[in-house]
Structure 1
Amino acid sequence: MPDSPLRRAALEVESHVAAEGWDQSPRLFALVATADLIAHEPALADQLPAEPGSITPVEQELDHSRELEDLLTEIEWPDAVIGCAAVIERIMLPPEAEESLPDDPEAIVAAAAAHPDRQEVRLVAAVTRAGLSHSAVRAREPEEAALLEGPDLVPGLIEHLRGTLT
């Protein structure tokens, strides 16, 4: 996987959230150019990476009574924010399981939660105003599950995040 400032920021977000375990509410991060952040807050210089082009995630407070996807439709970032990242936990089913799911959205959730082949995952997506994206997926089981990563592993979440940057 080619390294980039966005990739490092996405992996930093995943590591930060993973350190707090599972069963968390969605998390949202503004992504800012580290150099700009240091210029506005010089006291942070010793705590942040000095690599050219580095990106610093800044966690945002969320209204956890609403779905993240709904909240994202109302968010507009100031120009100083060069991108954003989100972390959510979801249940994934194998593609063949979709045929047996009910049509009712509430019934789908119950059926997915009870499905014997379900897998709980943590999804991370990060995007920039320049159109770059990076994503990561980690399964809850086994405990030492590998982190899968790539530019578009969670396309729906990536598109929701891109919508906040227009």
Structure 2
Amino acid sequence: MQLMPDSPLRQAALEIERHVAAEGWDQPPRLFALVPTADLIAREPALADQLSSDPASITPIEQELDHDRELEDLLTEIEWPDSVIGCAAVIERIMLPPEAEESLPQDPDALLAAAAAHPDRREVRLVAAVTRGKQAHSAVRAKEPADAELLEGPDLVPGLIEHLRDTLT
């Protein structure tokens, strides 16, 4: 049973999640340009057999990143060409239950150490995808258990969605 309305953006986000998940955990952040599949096939006809024949589909194209910098910092410098209709990012983070937040230190380094050592921490993979038309889709998967359900929706990771939207203006 599918709970989310389907769309080309949702399909692209889920394709990215499957692609990254196939390579396991403990990966650096990943960034993808989203382009209309029909445009890509028009420019590169040899790819037609490898891509969706749906004229509305979106193809993710992975970008190279400088892994010495935080993704959020890199996103402040990115501007996409008009041929890119959207973008997506994948990051792994530690999430804590809301009640743990009030006891966390303010210092960023101490905060990271406290979060990493917290007994109720959950390691998660976050996927966010946005289009110039302001559509968004996101997905979250916990590292544990190994068969953790993929949660998805338009705004599960609002901060990352906003960072991505800022690259499209």
- Compute the TM-score of the two structures, normalised by the length of structure 1: 1.00
Shift in Å at residue 88 of structure 1? 0.1
Shift in Å at residue 56 of structure 1? 0.1
SS class of match (2:129): strand
Shift in Å at residue 52 of structure 1? 2.2
**How far apart, CA to CA, are the structure 2 residues paired with 1:155 and 1:52?**
29
Structure 2 equivalent of residue 15 of structure 1: 18
Question: Is residue 127 from structure 1 mapped to residue 120 from structure 2 by the alignment?
Answer: no
Task: Select 1:56's aligned residue among 54, 59, 67.
Answer: 59
**How far apart, CA to CA, are the structure 2 residues paired with 1:128 and 1:139?**
25
Task: Select 1:162's aligned residue among 158, 162, 165.
Answer: 165
Report sequence identity in percent: 84
- Compute the TM-score of the two structures, normalised by the length of structure 2: 0.98
Structure 2 equivalent of residue 24 of structure 1: 27
Question: Is residue 37 from structure 1 mapped to residue 40 from structure 2 by the alignment?
Answer: yes
Question: Is residue 47 from structure 1 mapped to residue 50 from structure 2 by the alignment?
Answer: yes
Task: Select 2:94's aligned residue among 91, 95, 99.
Answer: 91
**How far apart, CA to CA, are the structure 1 residues paired with 2:129 and 2:106?**
31
SS class of match (1:152): coil
SS class of match (1:135): strand
Unaligned runs of 5+ in 1: none
How many residues align? The count is 166
SS class of match (2:99): helix
Letter in 2 for 1:145: A
Shift in Å at residue 26 of structure 1? 0.1
Residue by residue over 1:56-83, the C-alpha shift from the partner in whole angstroms, topping out at 9 and shown as x without a partner, is 0000000000000000000000000000
Residue by residue over 1:65-112, the C-alpha shift from the partner in whole angstroms, topping out at 9 and shown as x without a partner, is 000000000000000000000000000000000000001011000000
Structure 1 equivalent of residue 112 of structure 2: 109
Task: Select 2:153's aligned residue among 147, 150, 157.
Answer: 150
Structure 2 equivalent of residue 70 of structure 1: 73
SS class of match (1:45): helix
**How far apart, CA to CA, are the structure 1 residues paired with 2:94 and 2:106?**
17
**How far apart, CA to CA, are the structure 1 residues paired with 2:106 and 2:10?**
37
**How far apart, CA to CA, are the structure 2 residues paired with 1:103 and 1:32?**
40
Give 4+ residue runs of structure 1 displaced > 4 Å after superposition: none
**How far apart, CA to CA, are the structure 1 residues paired with 2:75 and 2:154?**
20
Structure 1 equivalent of residue 5 of structure 2: 2
